[in-house]
Amino acid sequence: MASEFPYVLNPFPEEVQTKLKAKFLGFRGGLVDVEGRHAMPAHYGRFAERYFNYKFQKDDVLVMTFPRSGTTWTQEIVWTMRNQVDVDTAAKVPLDVRVPFIEFDSLQPEHLPLAAPIEEAYRSRHPGEDPRDKGIFLDLVDALPSPRTIKTHLPFSLLRPDLLDSCKVVYVARNPKDVCVSYYHQQRLVKVAEFVGDFPEYVDFWTQDLLLQAPYWPHLAEGWARRHHPNVLFLFYEDMKEDILRELGRLNTFLGTALTESQLQTVARHTSFSGMKSRGATNPTAALQESGEFKKGEAAFIRKGTTGDWTNFFTPELEEKFGEWMEKWRPTSEEIPFRYQIKIPE
Ligand code: A3P
């Protein structure tokens, strides 16, 4: 039996909405706050209960992250590992079809067109039905053959409470300064948000936790609290950058994929930053700029892929402001052992 969605969706106060809408042109419909755990477009209300009750399958694997923490990289890794290192299919079929973003129907603003190929697939499966109502991404997840790998930025608390009895979760975390810089560029690029301010203005929103799918720390806290659960693998982006074969080894054990050392090396090569940036299946920036889903003239979705890029954007003033925000979120912000710079062996 479906459970009632246990949280109240509160529209942000009028003056906050006005501020947000002036700088994020994609937030025309306004944002709602899910009791301090997540900020979503208002029409998330139509889907919240369905996500909360979504019954995952025993062999599903969820890649769960706060945005810009290495989701796409991990999606490609996990899909390739769970599909016999089929790098040819991975190069041809778009990642968002192989590893759908389950809640994207609730992020896509109602004034923008739906993702064309995914809408077409929906219409052929359900002639005459309204795709906005049913959700084309939810439907894509339903239609996916096993073993399914699924992307989500929803925190644990917005999915079913017994989630970990039914599937596995790979949770990826990245230090908040690099996430902030990366999210700034992505929010300028995607029409879902279309941020039109500069970086200091973005930090202003960030430090007030006024961002899509924010706040950051409660999301991280929920993942961190479950890191010892046998059905959770908690990864750090920085560890993946430092030694990808070591982290692929951990995934191999967790996923039960039993890949050989040589297959893991193939996965590492296939999912390298340059490889993923060069392939349309994982970096559809140019195509989505043409279709109007991404804005032209902005940095690519797969952008720089380093640890420590924040040093190129944070002035001492911005660092101070960020530090105050970190203080505000103690003890979580102290507990998770993030690295802000790493040394990568030659
Ligand atoms: P930058 O903007 O710092 O470059 P997400 O997929 O969660 O949105 O995260 C996007 C971030 O991961 C971007 O960071 C992107 O460049 C980086 N990324 C994507 N693929 C990567 C890869 N194969 N190796 C390292 N980083 C990658």
Q: For the residues 323-344, what does the mean pLDDT come to?
A: 96
- Which of 81, 86, 37 is CA-nearest to residue 218? 37
70's tokens: 């290495």
- State if residue 244 touches ligand 1 by the CB under 6 angstroms criterion: no
Q: Please tell me the distance between residue 14's alpha carbon and the centre of ligand 1 in angstroms.
A: 34
Residue 340 has pLDDT above 70, yes or no: yes
Return phi, psi of residue 275, to 5°: -65, -50
Domains of the chain: 55-335 (3.40.50.300)
CA 346 to chain centroid, in Å, comes to 30
CB contact burial 205-227 (16+ within 10 A = b; e otherwise): bbbebbbbbbbbbbbbbbbbebe
Whole-angstrom Cα distance, residue 143 to residue 179? 32
- State if residue 289 touches ligand 1 by the CB under 6 angstroms criterion: no
Identity of the residue numbered 19? K
Strands 31-34 and 39-41 turn out to be antiparallel
Q: What is the number of the ligand 1 atom nearest to the C-alpha of 277?
A: 20
Among 63, 66, 73, 309, which is best to mutate for testing ligand 1, by the most ligand atoms less than 8 A from CB? 73
Among 63, 68, 283, which is best to mutate for testing ligand 1, by the most ligand atoms less than 8 A from CB? 68
- Which of 201, 213, 214, 216 is CA-nearest to residue 23? 201
Convert the pLDDT of each residue in 214-230 to its tens digit. 999 999 999 999 999 99
Pair 63, 100: CB distance under 8 Å:
no
Identity of the residue numbered 298? E
Strands annotated E in the chain? 9-11, 31-34, 39-41, 61-65, 149-152, 168-173, 232-236
Return phi, psi of residue 285, to 5°: -55, -50
84-88, 106-110, 155-159, 185-189: which range is least confident on average?
A: 106-110
- Which of 73, 5, 63 is CA-nearest to residue 37? 5
Looking at every residue in the chain, the average pLDDT score rounds to 96
Residue 121, pLDDT score: 87
Residue 346 has pLDDT above 70, yes or no: no
Convert the pLDDT of each residue in 9-68 to its tens digit. 999 999 999 999 999 999 999 999 999 999 999 999 999 999 999 999 999 999 999 999
The residues annotated as belonging to the active site are 153
Residue 133, pLDDT score: 83
Q: Please tell me the distance between residue 236's alpha carbon and the centre of ligand 1 in angstroms.
A: 13
Q: Please tell me the distance between residue 304's alpha carbon and the centre of ligand 1 in angstroms.
A: 7
- State if residue 182 touches ligand 1 by the CB under 6 angstroms criterion: yes
- State if residue 70 touches ligand 1 by the CB under 6 angstroms criterion: yes
